[in-house]
Chain A
Amino acid sequence: MGFNIVVTVKQVPDTHNVSGNAMKEDGTINRSALPAIFNPEDLNALEEALKIKKITDGNITAITMGPASAVDILKECLYRGVDKVILVSDKKFAGSDTLATSYILKSAIEKNGNFDLILCGRQAIDGDTAQVGPQIAEKLDINQITNIFQTVKISKNSITVKRETDTGAEIVKSRFPVLLTVTSDTNEPRPPSVKLIMTYKKLKADDFSKKISFPDISAEKWNINSINAEESKCGFSGSPTKVVKVDNVVLTTGRAKMISNTDDGINTLFRELNQNHVFG
Chain B
Amino acid sequence: MTLPIAGQTDAGKAAEATVSDVVIRFAGDSGDGMQLTGTQFTNTSALIGNDLSTLPDFPAEIRAPAGTLAGVSGFQVRIADHDIHTPGDAPDVLIAMNPAALKANMRDLKDNGVIIVNTDEFTPRNLKRAGYEANPLEDDSLNAFRLYQVALTTMTRRALEESELDVRSKDRCKNFLALGMVYWLFSRPLESTIDWLRVKFKRRPEIAEANVKVMKAGWNFCDITDAFQVRYDVEPAKLEPGTYRSIHGNSALAIGLVAASRRSGLPLFLGAYPITPASDVLHELATYKHFGVTTYQAEDEIAAVCAAIGASFGGNLGVSCSSGPGIALKAEGINLAVMVELPLVICDIQRGGPSTGLPTKTEQADLLQVMFGRNNESPVPVIAASSPANCFDTALEAVRMATAYMTPVILLSDGYIANGAEPWRIPQVEELPDLRVNFHQNAEGFMPYMRDEQTLARPWAIPGTPGLEHRIGGLEKEDVTGNVNYEPENHDHMVRLRAEKVARIVNDIPELEVEGPQSGKLLVLGWGSTLGAITGAVNQARADGLTVSRAHLWHINPFPRNLGDVLERFERVLVPEMNLGQLALLLRARYLKDIETYSKVEGKPFTRDEILHRIERMTGESNQR
A and B associate in one complex = no
List residues of chain A with CB under 8 Å of any chain B CB.
Answer: none
List residues of chain B with CB under 8 Å of any chain A CB.
Answer: none
